[in-house]
Amino acid sequence: MAETQPASTHRILAALLVGIVLAICLFAGLASVGLIGPDEPRYAWIAQHMASTGDWLTPRLYGQPWFEKPILYYWSAAVAFKFIPSPECAARLPSAFAALIAALSAAALAFWRYGRRTARATLLIFSTSIGVIAFARTAGPDMLFTAALSLALVSAVCILEKNSAFPVDPLRRKPNDTFDLILLGVWLAVATLAKGPAALILAGGSVLLWAVTTQNLRRAFRMLHPLAILSFAIVALPWYLLCARANPSFFHVFFIEHNLQRYLTPIFQHRQPFWFFTPIVVLGFLPWSALFFNISYDAFRIFRDHSWRASPGLFIACWAISPFIFFSFSQSKLPEYILPIFPPLAILLAHSFVYAVDHAPRRAQWMGVATGAMWVVLGIAGAIGFHRLPAYAPFLRHEINQLALASLLIGIAAGFIIELLSLWRKFWLVLAFSAVISATVVLTAGISILPRLDPLLSARPLARDIQSALPANSALYSVGQINRDCDYGLRFYLHRDSFSPFNPTLPGETSVLLSSGGDMQLNDMGIIHRKIVARFLPYCWVELVEPKTAP
């Protein structure tokens, strides 16, 4: 009894640590900055409009049908808008919850196949990776897509295990895979509602890659069982059919333009080199990127001892390899496209870490030292980033110097401590300490740094100034081409469908929105103007113009 008490206390403390890290890294500071870029305000606008109008069928942007993405994100965010007063929290909460679901599903698979320690490591590695922390705070469908595919991976492994594809303890085996087949169809349907037919391509390609590699086509075809197809159809097809019936342009706009042409052509100007996602994955998994060397070593080991055909790790790896290859060939590439490979890679990184701790402590030492070096790199990168803040930043120069120095010192101190712990072979302390530092940095940034950088990142502060400076519901016109980030952000925060073009013949003083070059256009018109609203956004501001006098 005396021996079990410390073990029980250790598990409770470990669970508490994991829970706190998850809560901070995935949910803290969702409203620290306003909606960023052109996409977040547009997605939020559609969801908010859906919540206010009750039209749950057709996503609409500024009154017009908008079929860039399917419906799942808009549904989930619209529900959040009904109950949460903060528009930023409402818009980003679906992604945060989806990140939590992805983390828990990956941990459940890790626990089931590899044990409790691997599950714990999976949770910490996934939730503290830079890419996950960033996209858990992004209003959009990508994390929902990732979570659904992660759940589909769990069901797929269940199906294969129950069909003797992997070694398993017979006492754990359920009598059949009926429920798993139904769930597989449901999760793929949810992924299809999140981002479209890419869900079937990614999942099908992953299973096919594994089947061809291991010559297990018969077991792979089990996933095409009528139960899986039926559950998929029941969940996914109703919205697609009803939306296509209500909107004749839906099929062409969604399937042809935003799926087929987006993949085959650079129509949306997101062209990147073939190798684009390699640095994205490496950077996205910081500070754990050094563990990829461990995965390479383990892959060589299972191929050397001929255990790879029956390895669930190979199947999990295929759910990362196939999407990576598929998106690498796409003519349109954005960093968030590669998010679905993060849960399977987190499982593999965690399993590789635990295996090295148990069977190759010398290698685990060097991986820990390399992880410490990653923290030093992050500290240096943070210092450089602070020093590159523009002169009109909302921090004074001495504050910027202090932040840069603090970033550098934190990176060096964290790296040094992690390297010492690694050399002393305190490997689980390395994992826990790195996770705690990540959570601390996220919490600090959300409380004291990001709110002050808000004027550089979003149009929210400018919108508040405009609302303070101009009478309610007063007209606001635009001159020239308005910066897209500012345009969509102000439309959301000012609740306006558009900004009408400025007409120099308008009587009385008029408020106009300008971006770079707009003031020169007013000068060319011979119009007197003066700036009345401008914070730290050099690409967007408001000026008051006097009526043009007759010659």
Structure tokens at 316: 């999990």
Structural domain boundaries in the chain: 4-34+98-359, 460-545
Distance between CA atoms of residues 132 and 139, nearest Å: 13
Distance between CA atoms of residues 329 and 88, nearest Å: 34
213 or 167: which leads in pLDDT: 213
**What's the pLDDT tens digit per position in 178-214?**
999 999 999 999 999 999 999 999 999 999 999 999 9
Rg, the chain, Cα only: 26
**What's the pLDDT tens digit per position in 131-155?**
999 999 999 999 999 999 999 999 9
Distance between CA atoms of residues 102 and 161, nearest Å: 21
Question: Per-residue confidence at 491, pLDDT binned at 50, 70, 90?
Answer: very high
Distance between CA atoms of residues 495 and 458, nearest Å: 16
For 383-417, b/e burial (b = at least 16 CB within 10 A) is beebeebeeebebeeeebeebbeebbebbeebbeb
Sole residue written with tokens 């959301």 = 492
Distance between CA atoms of residues 220 and 210, nearest Å: 8
Question: Per-residue confidence at 394, pLDDT binned at 50, 70, 90?
Answer: confident
Judged by average pLDDT, the poorest of 92-106, 160-174, 265-279 is 160-174
Cα atoms found within 13 Å of the Cα of residue 26, Cβ hemisphere only: 24
Res 422 pLDDT > 90: yes
Distance between CA atoms of residues 437 and 516, nearest Å: 40
Dihedral over alpha carbons 53, 56, 60, 61 (to 10 degrees): 70
User: Would the pTM of this model clear 0.85, i.e. be above it?
Assistant: yes
Mean pLDDT over each residue of the chain, to the nearest integer: 90
Distance between CA atoms of residues 315 and 81, nearest Å: 39
CA distances from 303 to 155, 214, 216 (A): 25, 12, 17
Question: Per-residue confidence at 169, pLDDT binned at 50, 70, 90?
Answer: low
547 or 540: which leads in pLDDT: 540
Identify the three-state secondary structure at position 537: coil
